[in-house]
Homo-oligomer: A and B are copies of this chain.
Amino acid sequence: MKSEGTEIKIKSLQKALQVLECFVEKQPLGVTEISEKMGLYKSNVHNILSTFKAMDYLEQDPDSGKFRLGTAVFTLSRALRENLDISRIAVPFMRRIAEEAGEVVYLSIPRGEEVVYLEAVYPEAQKLSGSIVTGERARMHCTSVGKAILAGMSRAERDELLKEPLEAFTENTITDRGELEKELKLTAERQYGLDDMELMFGIKCVGVALCNHEGKPEGGLSISAPSLRMSEEKIRVFAEILNRYKLEIQKRL
């Protein structure tokens, strides 16, 4: 059964979801604010928000009347995560990686031309709070895992994926397609991806891809740290750790 019908069939649903996604950028939001931002009529937005509220996707502050995200989205995300067994497999190993490296470890999965961060494990030493990064997205050309995944593809597959222009996020971001190819060649040779402050200034990352038995990348592991704690030598050490556990995890995928 082939399937290529990625089309918007129900415009009202598309619009409603776009309204819902406004809340990712900012919370709380009011009816008027959204209607202006999206160029819709207030009554229209009001109807959408009311319905989302009745379905628990939004909550409304009784005093201000403004809306924020509700718990239904949380329940959906649990169901999603339950379905991704890469989390279950990788997290125990991530704990050990975090201890060996002494830095934060991320698990991400490729989706389209982006990677989505699924899990974050902090070393015991860093008593940081919960993984806020979880659920965040980033373009592939400026992340360590993204590069590692891209490096494992054929040129044709890459061209298919990287249709959008390479956006710059810092002054280090690679924006030239040819330069990226050279970087990916290097990535493939040394067996790890490196993000040298290309997404966030002051943060460096080392990453590897996690592939299934067919060789298809299903996710990636990365170690992230402030550049001051990421010397040339540390990078080599981290890459060695990641590649060691990569094999362990891939055996179980």
Contacts and interface: CB of A to CB of B under 8 A. Distances in A.
Interface string A26-57: 01000000000000000000111011111111
Interface in A86-129: 87-88, 91-92, 95, 109, 111, 116, 118-119, 124, 127, 129
Interface stretch (A11-19, A166-174, A179-187): A11-19
A75 B12 contact: no
A10 B47 contact: yes
A74 B82 contact: no
Given A3-B60, A55-B17, A69-B80, A75 B24 contact: yes
A9 B48 CA distance: 7
Q: Which of A2, A124, A127, A134 has the largest count of B CB atoms less than 10 A from its CB?
A: A134
A154 interface: no
B88 A77 contact: no
Contact of A20 (B51, B71, B76, B133): B76
B14 A75 contact: no
A95 B72 CA distance: 26
Interface of A: 1-3, 5-10, 12-14, 16-17, 20-21, 23-24, 27, 46-48, 50-57, 60-65, 68-83, 87-88, 91-92, 95, 109, 111, 116, 118-119, 124, 127, 129-130, 132-137
14 contacts: A5-B50, A8-B54, A10-B48, A13-B52, A23-B79, A68-B80, A69-B80, A69-B83, A71-B109, A73-B80, A74-B81, A77-B77, A78-B132, A81-B135
